[in-house]
Every structure is written in C-alpha cells, then in structure tokens.
Amino acid sequence: MRHITRTTSHAGILCSVILLLALTTLATAAGAKTSGQPQAAGSNQELLLSGRTVNIDGDGVPDGTVTVTIGGKRVAPDQVALTQGNGFYQVRIKLAPDTLPTSRVKLTFKHPSYESVTRTVGPVAANGKTPGGAQRYLAHFSLTLHHRVSPALWIAAAVLLAVYIFIAFDMMHRTLAAMVGAAVLLFVSYTAGSFDPAFRIMTFTQASHAIDDNVIFLLMAMMIIVGVTKKTGVFQWLAYKSFQMARGNIFALSAVLMVVTAVTSAFLDNVTTMLLMIPVTVEIALALDITPLALLMPEVFASNVGGTATLIGDPPNIMIGSYASLSFNQFVEHLAVVCLIGLAMSIAYFLFYFRRSYHSARVSDIPAMIARLRSEYRITDKPLLVKSGIVLAITVALFIFHDSLHMQPSIAAMAGASLLLIISGVHIVDMVEQEIEWATLLFFMMLFILVAGAQQTGLIQAIANGVSALSQGSPVLAVTLVLWGSAIFSAIIDNIPFTATMLPVVAYLTKSMAGVHGALLWWALSLGACLGGNGTLLGASANVVTAGLAEKAGYPISFRQYLRIALAPMLITVAISMLWLLWVAR
C-alpha cells in the first residue's frame, strides 16, 4: 500500500513538470507570434520630437535646453535635449500605452541669453511602428527666441565700450585693447559662467568660429603682394611722375597726387599707399617751400575716398564684402561713380582751402628738380615690376570673376601672392617677417570675437532694434541712420571696430525691413564708415599713419588741426553719398 502511494506521488510530480513545460512552450510560442505581428491597441508608444531654435536673425541658437511635458508630467532628466551648434534638437521619448494622441505635449526652451518659452506641440502624427513594435508618433516644432537682458549682456556691452574708449583716446594699442577685451569675455564665460549660466557669454568654439578667415587671408595675401611690389620703387616713381606732369603748377600737382593716391588705394591697401607716398611728397613740398601739410592732407583724404570704391580698397569694405557675400563687381558697380564724384569735390575743396599755400610756393628751376627726382625716385627693379604688374592684373581679374567662379576673394589674393613669390624669387620668410602686419591681423581676429560676444548676448540685437524703431519702418530713414551714424561714429573711433559691430545690425535690418532695395544698407554702411573715417585724425588707420610720418619729418598734425581741415569735406562727401543712395533707391 505504501508502495502504491509512493508511486502515485512520483507520477503526480512528473505530471506537474510536464504541464509546466507545456505552459512555458505555449507562452514562448505566443510571444514569438506576437513579436512577428503588429501589436494590438494598448501597447507601448514612442514620441520623436525634432526642430530648430533660432534667434530673430534666423541663426541657430546652440547650447539651449529643450524639456518636454506630456499630460502635465515632465519627462525624465535623461530625456532632456540640448540644441546643437545650428540650433537643431531631437528627443526620443518612450510612453505608456494610450498616452498619445490624447495627451497634450509641451516644449520648453531655455537659454541663459534668451527668454524661456513654452509652447504646445501639435499636431502629433502617427508614423508607423518602431522595430520593437511600438506605435511611433512624430512632431516637428521650431521656435524663434528673443534675447533677454542678462549679466552676460551688460558685461559684453561694458567690455566693447571700454575697448572703444581705449582705442579712440589712444590709451592702449588697439590690438592689445581688442585682445584684452576678447580675453575678458572668454575668462568670464569659463569662470563665473561655470557657476551661473547667466554669466556665460560665449564658448571658445563660438569664439574661434566667429573669426572671418576670408578677411584675414585676404589682408595677409594683399600685404604680400604690396610688399613685393614696393621693392620696385614704383610708388615713389608715381609721385615723381606726378610732379613732372604738373610742370611746376602746384594746383595741378596737388590734383594729380590726389588722383594717383585714390586710384592706387582702390586696388592696394590705402595705409601702405600713404606709407610709400609720404616721403617723396614731403620732399617735393619742402623743395617748393610750402608746408607738407598742404599736400599730405589732400592725399590722405583721397586715399580714403578711393579705397571706398572697391572691395579691397579699405578694410571696412573687405569686412562688409565677406560678411554680406558681396562681390568685387558689386562694389565697383554701386560705389565707383559716387566715389569719383566725391573725389572731384574733394579736389576742388582742397585746392580752394590751400590756395594761399599753393600761391606762395617758390617754383624755381623746375627742370633741375625733375632731374633730381628722376635720379632719386626711379624704378629700381624693372623685371620685378613687370612680374608684379602681371600678377596684380591676374589677381584683379580673379576679383572681378570670383563671384561667377564661386570663389572667395581671399582665394584670389592668395593665388596671386603665391604666384608672385614663386616668380619673383623673394624669400617668403622675409615677407612673413617684414611685410605682413601681424598686429593688424590679430586686431581683426580679436575684434571678431568681441563682436561675436556682443551678438551672442543680444547686445547687437538691442542696437538693431533701436535703429529699427528709430527708422519707423522707413527705408529712407534706415539708410539715413546707417549712413550718418556710421560716418559720425567712424570719425570718433576707428572705423574698423565700428564696422565689425554694425555688420550683424545691418544684416538684421536688411532682412527684416520691407522696401529696402537690395544691398542698399550695406552700401550706406560702406560709404559712412570709409568716408566718415576722413573726419578726424583717429577715424582711419591711414590718417594715423600720415600724422605719425609727418611728425617724424618735423611737421606734426594735431587732432584739432586735422579736424579743422577735414571735417567739412567729410560732411560734404557723406551728403553726396546720401543723395546718391536716395537716387539709387528711388
């Protein structure tokens, strides 16, 4: 009996095991079948959100936080997304069954320099199944963000203003001032900004991306071309030929010198042009027994007017052309005529202003004077002059066609500089060490970082909003404000940092204002910055160079003296530009 009971117990255990194995097999088969077919209603869901956050300029806002609230509940922290460098974001969220599309989905965008914004996303559309069988929902939502007043904005404003003051009043070398300013912005961002995002101005990556390589390489290449060309003595020879053409007529001499300087400055750097023209001009003036100021002031004024006519003639134009993607031909087409008119007016003005000095000139033995200048300021290397002339012609041709070739102007300049170094035999180390103005290039680089900091924090936007509000939506008022504002401020401070600051402002106004004709505001900025720089001694680099060399020769030019001579013709040329722009915009 005991044996029968034990046998029955063993049989029961065996049956239980067999039943358990059978149930497990059925469950596995059912799961396999389910995984191979679409899931029924009530299964898990997935939401994929994407979009872009931009500022009102249309530029992507990086490093912003994107959080999602669904049905009044915020998603887990590991599902919070950060906007990328171009402002794009993407977040994938796993949801409980039957959450969508009935639950409301909200996105919240946060950034230290922008106002936080929460928006409802809709519609959320079903879009197939995930590989795991969950129902997928997609939504694309982009948002325009507005800057807020933050500590970072005030710091950027204070630093930019301090740099302007240091440069305007010559309290610090402009390159050092810009470098200190850029360093302060980055230092604050990585110290105070690490503890409080409200103090974060910009990242190092943003700072490095802000540097306009096209401007830097274009300037560097043109410095090399000019450095090789000046070894031929051609610039001093041009001054001598001007005297020879005038044949003792001082009025004609002054006019010819202005034309030569203006044309040369249109295709070469106006600072370099003045550096090479000043010594022979001073010698001619002393030989005629007149103050060198009577010839130097018209020359430097003409250099700034002539440099305004082309893309490569003046640094502000190089910056504008690169930022706004304007071609060499566009600058010539829209600015050459008004610059010719301005040059003609300038010649008439200075001939009248210095008429007493010209009448008092002691003109004696002109042939002997011409012979002496011929022997002293002659072409020293004719083969090199021919090579330089050919390369310069090729480079200018590339400038003319660079837009059709989709080529940056810097590429044309670097190609010309490289070719000239090869065929001339001039050692590149000599050019790098002696002719490239590294302090100037570094100044531009630091300046770009400063302006980028102001743009990141919303300072530039605030300026643009102010200009837009003052213009009241009128293109004529906008042109007037940009032209005269640029002229006045460029006369007070160096026109290069002012132009750098105004680039994003004009870009915003051009895009946001209805009725603005093409690149009209860019031409207003160019004319205002370049011609306005003629107004004071500190307005343009060529002015400072001229004053320095004149003082070295024993004929200093004071700030008041320069202002008294140049302010009136500067205002006249800007007024002519105003009439020209209004005529173009008609």
What pLDDT is recorded for position 12?
Answer: 52
Q: Per-residue pLDDT averaged across 383-409, rounded?
A: 91
Task: Give the pLDDT confidence of 477-522 residue by residue, as tens digits.
Answer: 889 999 999 999 888 877 888 898 899 889 888 887 766 777 899 9
How does residue 6 score in pLDDT terms, banded at 50, 70 and 90? very low
Rg of the chain, C-alpha, whole Å: 34
Q: Per-residue pLDDT averaged across 206-230, rounded?
A: 90
Ordered DSSP codes for 61-73: --S-EEEEEETTE
Q: Per-residue pLDDT averaged across 533-541, rounded?
A: 86
Mean pLDDT of all residues in the chain?
A: 84
Q: Per-residue pLDDT averaged across 467-483, rounded?
A: 86
What residues contact 12, with CB distance under 8 A and at least 6 apart? none
Domains along the chain?
45-145 (2.60.130.10), 234-378+458-465+475-584 (no CATH)
Q: Is the pLDDT of residue 341 over 90?
A: yes
What pLDDT is recorded for position 43?
Answer: 47
Task: Give the pLDDT confidence of 272-320 residue by residue, as tens digits.
Answer: 788 888 888 888 888 888 899 999 999 999 999 999 999 988 889 999 9
Q: Is the pLDDT of residue 528 over 90?
A: yes
What pLDDT is recorded for position 206?
Answer: 87
Beta strands 135-140; 45-55: pairing state: parallel
What three-state secondary structure class fits 473?
coil
- How far is 308 from 311, CA to CA, in rounded Å? 8
Cα 91 to chain centroid, rounded: 34
Ordered DSSP codes for 203-272: -HHHHHHHS-HHHHHHHHHHHHHHHHHGGGTHHHHHHHHHHHHHTT-HHHHHHHHHHHHHHHHHHS-HHH
Q: Per-residue pLDDT averaged across 97-115, rounded?
A: 82
- In this prediction the pTM is 0.76
What pLDDT is recorded for position 246?
Answer: 81
- How far is 496 from 494, CA to CA, in rounded Å? 5
What pLDDT is recorded for position 40?
Answer: 38
Task: Give the pLDDT confidence of 74-95 residue by residue, as tens digits.
Answer: 876 556 677 777 788 888 888 8
State the distance between the two ends of the chain, measured CA to CA, in whole angstroms: 120
Q: Is the pLDDT of residue 163 over 60?
A: yes
What sign results for the dihedral spanned by CA atoms 373, 374, 376, 382?
A: positive
Q: If you count them, how many residues does the chain have?
A: 586
How does residue 144 score in pLDDT terms, banded at 50, 70 and 90? confident
One-letter amino acid of 97: P
The answer to whether 78 touches 72, Cβ cutoff 8 Å, is no
Task: Give the pLDDT confidence of 441-467 residue by residue, as tens digits.
Answer: 898 899 899 988 988 888 887 888 788
Task: Give the pLDDT confidence of 22-54 residue by residue, as tens digits.
Answer: 544 444 444 444 433 333 344 488 888 888 888
User: What does the DSSP 8-state code read for residue 86?
Assistant: T
Q: Per-residue pLDDT averaged across 340-359, rounded?
A: 95
The answer to whether 95 touches 70, Cβ cutoff 8 Å, is yes
Q: Which of 11-15, 48-52, 199-203, 458-462 has the weakest average pLDDT? A: 11-15
Q: How distant, in Å, are the alpha carbons of 14, 16, 30 from that of 22?
A: 12, 10, 12
What pLDDT is recorded for position 307?
Answer: 92
